[in-house]
Amino acid sequence: MADARQFENIPLNRILVEEQIRKNIDIKGEAFCSFMESIRDKGVLQPVVVMKRDDRFLLISGERRFLACGQLGMETIPAVIVENLSGKEGILTIQLIENLQRENLNPIDEAGAYLSYLQNAVGEIAVEEMLNKMILFKTSPERLKPEDVPRIGTLEKISGKSSSTLMNYLSLLKLPKEIQDVVSDGRIGPTQGYLFAANVNHPELMTIFKEVLEKPVTYEALKRRFAKKEAQPQEKKYAGMKPKPFTEVYQSLRAVKTKITKGTAFKIAEIDKLMTELKTFYDRLEQLKAGGGVEKAESKPAANKLA
């Protein structure tokens, strides 16, 4: 179905290509070759999107179509020309909308698109730090910078995904590149990719990954595999005694509580940092629970409960 907007045929040699949402297009791959044959037979059914830049045009979305036309030796390509884009933010917004609607992005490229959109407002920060901002968006939005809240809210509307789902996508970017590549090409589905991301610090992450590549398993079986692999070294470490891995955490929290009770003065920045760390810790525990890495406690009074 052709694009309802007006378009014109633009010479390929007048189109500039800068950073795009989709990464590493394999022009030699089977899927791309099939895509080229479709264009050879039926033409370009959806125009690319460009904007004027001096006497040339900047490609906003449609890089696969642009590359395919180039490989086929075509001189022009149908293009919709958009105007009045407000700098990089406007370009990113159009790129995101166009690509999510048409380009069938793989999960890694989609995650990268979300990260780029968010980083345009907050700067080049690590994925983990961006995930912390997303946690605050869900739990304490008043603690975010004024520009962060509307940006995340706008991304929810553009993508049609909740902040929790967006966090799952972003978590994929924490994975080693070897795992990202497999999620990208579909050999491991995004749901299992989220589980690998939740266990990214697991001591046998790559071992389990290679096992799953050789013999695919269900999501539930993968959860059990992570739980089993994680339990083995703990059983050896705590042989003959009841494991209490959070004892030091409880002691530290009690010490902080004592200081607060005694009226010790704390700087606002210190309190904010502590609250952020606690929320990150809480979210990590939730991820561990989702990944089957936390055993349910027996029903009895908690000896370590903070008084």
- pLDDT of 295 > 60? The answer is no
Is 45 inside a domain boundary?
yes
Looking at the structure of the chain, the number of domains it has is 2
Q: Which of 172, 161, 158, 40 is nearest to 106 (CA)?
A: 172
Residue 22: give its domain's CATH number.
3.90.1530.10
Is 284 inside a domain boundary?
yes
* Chain position carrying tokens 């939740």: 198
State how far the alpha carbon of 224 is from the alpha carbons of 167, 193, 230, in Å. 23, 15, 10
Domain boundary among 85, 105, 128: 85
Q: Which amino acid is at 18?
A: E
At 19-67, the pLDDT tens digits run 776 666 778 888 889 889 999 999 998 899 898 888 899 998 888 899 9
Rounded distance, CA 136 to CA 149, Å? 10
How wide is the angle at C-alpha 96 spanned by C-alphas 92 and 99, nearest 5°?
A: 130
What is the predicted pLDDT for the residue at 197?
95
Residue 292 banded pLDDT, cuts 50, 70, 90: low
What is the predicted pLDDT for the residue at 169?
95
Query: What is the residue-averaged pLDDT of the chain?
Result: 80
Is 263 inside a domain boundary?
yes
The residue length of the chain stands at 307
At 270-290, the pLDDT tens digits run 777 777 777 777 777 766 666
Is 171 inside a domain boundary?
no
Is 78 inside a domain boundary?
yes
Radius of gyration of the CA atoms of the chain, in A: 25
Across-strand partners of 276?
Answer: none
Is 46 inside a domain boundary?
yes
Q: Which range has highest mean pLDDT (14-23, 48-57, 138-147, 263-272)?
A: 48-57
Is 34 inside a domain boundary?
yes
Which domain range does residue 13 map to? 8-85
| Longest CA–CA separation in the chain, Å | 78
Q: pTM of the predicted model, to two decimals?
A: 0.60
Which has more pLDDT, 83 or 237? 83
Residue 305 banded pLDDT, cuts 50, 70, 90: very low
Rounded distance, CA 58 to CA 223, Å? 45
Is 271 inside a domain boundary?
yes
